Amino acid sequence: MRSIIPLAEHNPPSYEYRLCLRDRVICLRQTSDALLYRSVFPGPSPDPDLEDQREAETLKWIHDYFQLKVDLSELYKQWGARDAVFHSRKDRFSGIRMLRQDPFENLISFICSSNNNIGRITKMIQALCRHYSTTLVTLPPPADFSSTSGQPSGESHAYHPFPPPSVLAAPGVAGTLRTLGFGYRADFIQKTAKMLVDTHGGTDRDALEPAERWLLTLREKSTQEAREELLKFMGVGRKVADCILLMSLDKNEVIPVDTHVHQIAMKHYGVNGSSKAKTAMTPKLYDEVSNKLAIIWGSYAGWAHLVLFTSDLKSFASYGLPTPSPSPSVQVEVGRISRKRKVGLATLPTIPPPQTTSKSSRARAGASLRTDAEAGSTLPVYEESGLSMADRVKRRRRAEKAINVAAAS
């Protein structure tokens, strides 16, 4: 496995994340200071020249997908200087980067997101890929560096590319997707794919179909022009269109607005609305929230909103915080009194394993120190800082009673 940055010693990599492209599976791990990568292709190993070419393509894809040319540290400084709320959270939630995703895959995925949750969306996309594309490669599970053995565990997994527009445009697709649990979204997917193919062309010998290449041209259009094109598709409203603009079409200033983003805007940025009753998301309110936040955060407002969105999720409430230290526990035994104390250290956040059931699921590395001390007296030793004299006397009497009971039994 190759790395973009040289590895430090004694710095084990994280869980391995895998993404299936049209012609290869890309495997990624990270340490605190490096990104490790490798690409797996179907068939036998190629000659060295072709292998070098493929590795260069993979590295180029990684730079593009993670938008590594964007100076994220500088953006965090700018947002922190403009916004006190962002400044208070930027250290805990550092390194959150917008992915530059494939436009067609992103379009179909966000059509699936309508009135849905992350776990179900994930299962739907997996079912779509399994049913409408053949297996590219089958790989054993990755080695688990968090275990003592470091050996892989579990069954091998077959990887399927995302199907192209021409496949999803076929007449029978909607019916099949309904049997797979897509509901009303099945028609939206088939009709959107058919509209793309009918207007821009279907199969092609190249890696990308004409319809997919046309979607890429929207990156060169203005935000409003690209939005108007997306709104023509079945199942695409303002929020879905804005998600695609931000996450696939380089419109970095766009802020997709939903109820959660509206709540953030009310809580921190003075946007009108009720915190108790759910407010209907009208076009006027959508524009008010989006424009207000864009003025604060500037040309990369969509990236900044992602940081605030993440930091406001309940499931991320303890992310990046020190592990809480519990109260000292006292173990009373006949003939032996001992005290145990845990000292919490700051957690080291890492990226979450794939295919989790909620968007909040993520791997964490934590550390704790445990000290055992045997007290020389017959009474437990307490951490007494901050206690009044009366409280210390009461604790001592309770401990004496506990010892007497233990001795009597």
Amino acid at 107: L
**Cα(242)–Cα(86) distance, integer angstroms:** 22
3 CB contacts (<8 Å, ≥6 apart)? 34, 35, 36, 37
**Rounded to whole angstroms, how far apart are CA atoms 37 and 34?**
10
Q: Indicate the angle between helix axes 259-269 and 301-311, nearest 10 degrees.
A: 90
- The label of the residue with tokens 């992602």 reads 306
What torsion do the CA atoms of 114, 116, 118, 124 make, to the nearest 10 degrees?
-80
Write the Ramachandran bin of 232: left for phi over 0, alpha for psi from -120 to 50, otherwise beta. Answer: alpha
**Whole-number Cα distances in Å, 404 to 87, 321, 388:** 55, 41, 25
**Angle between helix 283-297 and helix 72-82 axes, rounded to 10 deg:** 110
Catalytic (active-site) positions? 239
For the sheet with 25-30, list strands across it: 2-3, 35-40, 25-30, 17-20
Compute CA distances 110 → 172, 211, 233, 245, 259, whole Å: 21, 18, 12, 11, 17
Helix (H, G, I), strand (E, B) or coil at 27: strand
The candidate with the shortest Cα–Cα distance to 235, out of 171, 190, 181, is: 190
Helices 283-297, 301-311: inter-axial angle, 10-degree rounding:
100
Query: In this structure, what is the dihedral angle of CA atoms 356, 361, 365, 369, given to the nearest 10 degrees?
Result: -130
**Rounded Cα–Cα distance for residues 397 and 230 (Å):** 73
